[in-house]
Amino acid sequence: MAKKQTASNPNAAAAAARKAAKATQPPAAGASAEPTLTDAPPGSSTQTKDGGTLTVIKDSTMPKDFKFKVSDRPVEEIIESRVLFNEAHTSVQIEKDTPLEEVIPILDYFQGLAGHVGFFIGDVMIAASDRFNERFGWAMEKTGRAASTLRGYEATARAIPPEVRSPMLTYTHHVPLARLHDVKDIKAMLKEAEPAKGRAMLTVNELRDKVNEKFPKPAKKAGKASSGKKKKGKAKGKEIKPYEPTDEEKVAIDGLFDAMKDANSILSDKVTPNGKTWAQLYLGVNKAPGMDNAKKRALLDALKSAWELYQKVSFKLGY
């Protein structure tokens, strides 16, 4: 992980100075302060889409005499001296004098973050839960965080400690292994999923199938056989506990919600949900027993996205 930037670190100080200089530099006369598209690199082409211009990069054939070696400089130093984050941490800027040998480690660094962010969230959850106990849960509820989803990340991170995790596989690969109790079994399955000479990396579904095959889930206990006779007296209704999804299901549900949001943004026509139907859904969720306000808000957001998406698809594509 990248080291914390301090004044005593020369790389961090230099990066901070460059960032401050760029922030105070006024735009050229007549230039817009808004970000603009960069010039397309050689070998690229442009396409018109949705009224805008999209740059498409096509890689040329690598010459046989091309020589290249990745920098052996520590990636922490490369990130501190070459990469600048914007204030919202939604984009990065790479220094113009960054050599190609250091660009590849930067790329690997961010790809690694994307693949393992679930563990980062889980590790934060573990630290906060162990330190603040129930106060942390109250804080999540007070601020409307999706506690059940976050607890799923925590459970996976607790089940698979840092020294066991595979850097070659994504967080999602590790999720099916969280139910295994033996660290040796977890390590063996991770090793089997990793890419090797002459063998591609297993997909998450392939790994899950292998885990279920080698470590079958225990069968559910059968209920007591009924005599068929009706019992006298007023039957008491059984209290049905809310279903708690597994870690795998939580990851899949999060992906589904994100996909619905993406689809809604692509189908840009604004559609207001049918008033009568939406009112029924809204009242139904608010009257649902056993749900706190945070869960109700999350469910309503999901239902609204799904309903808007359905109406857009129906209107545009005739489904």
Q: Residue 45: which H helix or E strand, with range?
A: strand 44-49
Euclidean distance between CA atoms 172 and 251, whole angstroms: 8
Where are the domains positioned within the chain? Answer: 71-159, 163-216, 254-317
For 121, 164, 178, 258, 318, the CA distances from 156, given in Å and listed in that order, are 10, 12, 5, 21, 42
Q: Using an 8 Å Cβ cutoff, are 226 and 147 in contact?
A: no
Report H helices in 143-182: 147-159, 171-174
Tens of pLDDT along 94-148?
999 999 999 999 998 888 888 899 999 999 999 999 999 989 999 998 898 888 8
What pLDDT, on a 0 to 100 scale, did the predictor assign at position 7? Answer: 40
- CA-based nearest residue to 129, from 111, 147, 116, 105: 147
Burial of 116 (0-12, 13-18, 19+ CB in 10 A): buried
Binning pLDDT at 50, 70 and 90, where does residue 278 land?
low
What pLDDT, on a 0 to 100 scale, did the predictor assign at position 49? Answer: 58
Q: Show the tokens assigned to 255.
A: 């992906």
Q: Look at 8-12, 85-89, 144-148, 176-180 and tell me which has the smallest mean pLDDT.
A: 8-12
Strand partners, 118: none
Q: Using an 8 Å Cβ cutoff, are 156 and 178 in contact?
A: yes
Burial of 196 (0-12, 13-18, 19+ CB in 10 A): exposed
Residue 286: pLDDT over 60: yes
Whether the model pTM is above 0.85: no
317 Cβ neighbours under 8 A, 6+ residues apart: none
How far is Cα of residue 47 from the mean position of the Cα atoms in its chain? Answer: 30
Return the higher-pLDDT residue of 253 and 202.
202
SS3 for 85? strand
What pLDDT, on a 0 to 100 scale, did the predictor assign at position 52? Answer: 65
What pLDDT, on a 0 to 100 scale, did the predictor assign at position 221? Answer: 66
Return the higher-pLDDT residue of 161 and 36.
161
What pLDDT, on a 0 to 100 scale, did the predictor assign at position 21? Answer: 52
Residues 30-43: what's their mean pLDDT? 49
DSSP readout, 187-252? HHHHHHHS-BTTBPPPPHHHHHHHHHHHSPPPPPPPPPPP-SPPPSSPPPPPPPPPP---HHHHHH
Q: Show the tokens assigned to 24.
A: 């105070």
Residues 41-48: what's their mean pLDDT? 61
**Strand 92-94, strand 83-85: pairing:** antiparallel
Residue 160: pLDDT over 60: yes
Binning pLDDT at 50, 70 and 90, where does residue 93 land?
very high
Q: Using an 8 Å Cβ cutoff, are 296 and 314 in contact?
A: no
What pLDDT, on a 0 to 100 scale, did the predictor assign at position 78? Answer: 95
If you average pLDDT over every residue of the chain, what do you get? 75
Which one of 180-194, 215-229, 274-288 scores highest in mean pLDDT?
Answer: 180-194
Return the higher-pLDDT residue of 271 and 192.
192
Residues 184-212: what's their mean pLDDT? 92
Residue 43: pLDDT over 70: no
Binning pLDDT at 50, 70 and 90, where does residue 233 land?
low
What pLDDT, on a 0 to 100 scale, did the predictor assign at position 53? Answer: 65
